[in-house]
Structure 1
Amino acid sequence: MRLWFKWILDPVAGFLLRLGLAPNTITLAGLAGNFIAALYLASGRFLPGGLLVLAMGPVDALDGTMARLRGERSDFGGFVDSVSDRYSELFILGGLLTHYLTVGDLLGAGLAFGAAAGSVLVSYVKARAEALGFEARGGILTRFERYLVLVPALLLGFDHVGLGIITVLANLTALQRIWIVRGQARRR
């Protein structure tokens, strides 16, 4: 997907580099922005929270673009970016969970928890598979697609529907990746 937006990301990333900003600075700025979005979501203010989540999407793509343009892609930078992505997603879903628990919406709380569990498991399955020498990429609902579902759901007031879709499809994606690794393990 980033290739589709390369024509936008490259000039913006170049500008940020000329300002003297480092890729990890942008990673941390995105993390901070998502934390603020989570505070809005926790207080039930889904429109500003959703808009901030929407604004942080391109910020998340900029750090890797900046590292590539500088010719300094590093394992540590990739690690920081990956961990930041998990925190960002959990901040957002945790903000929603907090809101639903505060207002006594147990269905919403369950959906937010299920979405968080599925999101974390998609990433964990991939990381654990790679640590064992397998490859577990792709699937029905990767991180980018989860945002494509969540942001419009927040902005249009269909938060339960969006979270329900993420809960089901993210967990199916984790299972799909487990199945892929199972097939690779059998061929060894």
Structure 2
Amino acid sequence: MLDTLVSWIQGDLSPSARIWTALAPAMLASAYFIGGLLIFAIRCAFKGVPQDEETLKRGSTVLVGMFLRHYFFWVIQPLWAVVYRSGLPANALSMLSGLLGVSSGVAVAAGRFALGGWLFLAAGILDVMDGRIARLRKEANPAGAALDSVLDRYVDSAMLMGLAWYYRDTWVLLPVLMALLGTSLVPYVRARGEGLGINIRGGAMQRLERVLFLGAGVALSPIFEAIWFPEQKHPIHWLAVIGMVFVAVMSNVTALSRFRALVNALAPPPASARPRSGLALFGFNAAAGAIATAVDFGAVLGMVEGLKFSPVAATALGCVLGGVVNYTLNRLITFRSRGAVAPQMARYTLVSATSALLNAGGVALLTLHPQLAYTLGWWLARGAVYFAWNLPLQRDYVFNDPPEALMERPHAA
């Protein structure tokens, strides 16, 4: 038994070792948490859900609801009590959480996903405890809060840097970097809002969710790899990839939703200047673009096949016709503008021309990476330019009616 333990520590990645290093902690944790869930459910049936005050203050998300949050903080009470009675200061727990979190990144970089995942989950549990202990002992202070926040960023970054190193020669590196970006932006937008006097806390992928999905996916992935791909020297760890991609997508969605909420809170546009907003504005604008594109394509076919125009001349005329249709639909339907036509057309032409240059430049940059299909590069460039340039400028620059035009606009039903 001792020889087996030593071989695991030295890096034995045989199929059986990969299963047991992942499954042994999982069995112990599962027995504790599943048994705790049964007892918690019975208790709730007779006495109701115990209301944890800090959980109520933090609220819930779509991914982890209030019942599960109350259950989690209830089930770790025995461990929390042991730590509290030990007399360890809250800052020591924060430092221990940081050490375990950084160690998880080192383990993952070396291919020890089971060890890295469980270290990451342990760091997350300690991170929950340190703030509660500080508040209970009346030790909470700005210095401790700053230490805790900075160490959280190190822990998240260490795990993702370890994954980036492990996946450095594969396509998985891109979603790992996207996850690193999203997990950095979510707390940053919140901190920036607090610095400006605005509380921004919404979003589905907050730190508890990140620790849960990423940690569990990494910790348990060796089991599936050992079952399905036992002979691979450098397994892909698909369960970890799925959890990481989910965190990458949802953390960036959360960061963007917080950013939007922050901008709207800082500079809300006048209601009279926003005939449409949000999904409605995007939907009408996208529909106008689709109709204009269809008109452009149909006109080119008609001119080339029916009128025998040259494809070059037909394409040029089709672009002009499509632009006029797009402008007209956006003016009349999307933005319901009453501003002067000539200045609007000039601004629209400027935005369209710069959009074409940005799209061409974006595709040129993305095609520098031959492993990326040019069609995907085309869509990525179009999407980025549309959301960062076309839509905002059409809303705030092209069809931004002057006050006198706003006074004449009829109210929408």
Same fold (TM over 0.5): yes
Secondary structure of 1:138's counterpart equals coil
| C-alpha RMSD of the superposition | 2.0
After superposing the two structures, state which structure 1 stretch, 70-79 or 84-93, moved more: 70-79
Q: Give me the whole-angstrom Cα distance separating, in 1, the residues matched to 2:184 and 2:77.
A: 29
Q: Give me the whole-angstrom Cα distance separating, in 2, the residues matched to 1:15 and 1:145.
A: 25
CA 1:143–1:167: 2 relative to 1, 3 Å: same
What fraction of aligned residue pairs are identical, expressed as a percent?
A: 34
Counterpart AA for 1:35 = V
* Displacement of 1:185: 1.4
Secondary structure of 2:202's counterpart equals coil
* Displacement of 1:13: 3.9
1:66: which partner in 2? 133
* Displacement of 1:17: 3.9
* Displacement of 1:10: 5.1
1:185: which partner in 2? 266
* Conserved? CA contact 2:121–2:212, under 8 Å: no
Secondary structure of 2:100's counterpart equals helix
* Displacement of 1:14: 4.4
* Conserved? CA contact 2:97–2:122, under 8 Å: no
* Displacement of 1:6: 3.9
* Conserved? CA contact 1:41–1:96, under 8 Å: yes
* Displacement of 1:49: 1.0
CA 1:174–1:167: 2 relative to 1, 3 Å: same
Counterparts of residues 113-132 of structure 1 (less than 5 Å):
113-132=177-196
Q: Give me the whole-angstrom Cα distance separating, in 2, the residues matched to 1:134 and 1:48.
A: 39
Q: Give me the whole-angstrom Cα distance separating, in 2, the residues matched to 1:47 and 1:19.
A: 28
1:91 aligns with 2:154: no
CA 1:69–1:8: 2 relative to 1, 3 Å: farther
Unaligned runs of at least 5 residues, structure 1: none
Higher helix share: 1
Counterpart AA for 1:45 = R
1:141: which partner in 2? 205
Q: Give me the whole-angstrom Cα distance separating, in 2, the residues matched to 1:116 and 1:168.
A: 11
Counterpart AA for 1:79 = A
Q: Give me the whole-angstrom Cα distance separating, in 2, the residues matched to 1:7 and 1:71.
A: 21
1:82 aligns with 2:149: yes
* Conserved? CA contact 1:14–1:66, under 8 Å: no
1:24: which partner in 2? 91
* Displacement of 1:9: 4.8
* Conserved? CA contact 2:100–2:119, under 8 Å: yes
Counterpart AA for 1:38 = G
* Conserved? CA contact 2:164–2:177, under 8 Å: yes
CA 1:69–1:14: 2 relative to 1, 3 Å: farther
Counterpart AA for 1:172 = V
After superposing the two structures, state which structure 1 stretch, 22-31 or 1-10, moved more: 1-10
Q: Give me the whole-angstrom Cα distance separating, in 2, the residues matched to 1:79 and 1:88.
A: 14
Greater C-alpha radius of gyration: 2
Q: What TM-score do the two structures reach when normalised by structure 1? A: 0.90
Within the candidate set 243, 248, 268, 1:167 is matched to: 248
Q: Give me the whole-angstrom Cα distance separating, in 1, the residues matched to 2:189 and 2:129.
A: 25
Q: Give me the whole-angstrom Cα distance separating, in 2, the residues matched to 1:165 and 1:83.
A: 24
After superposing the two structures, state which structure 1 stretch, 9-18 or 22-31, moved more: 9-18
Deviations 1:7-47 (A, max 9, x none): 45555444334333110000000110111111110011111
Q: Give me the whole-angstrom Cα distance separating, in 1, the residues matched to 2:210 and 2:73.
A: 21
Secondary structure of 2:267's counterpart equals helix
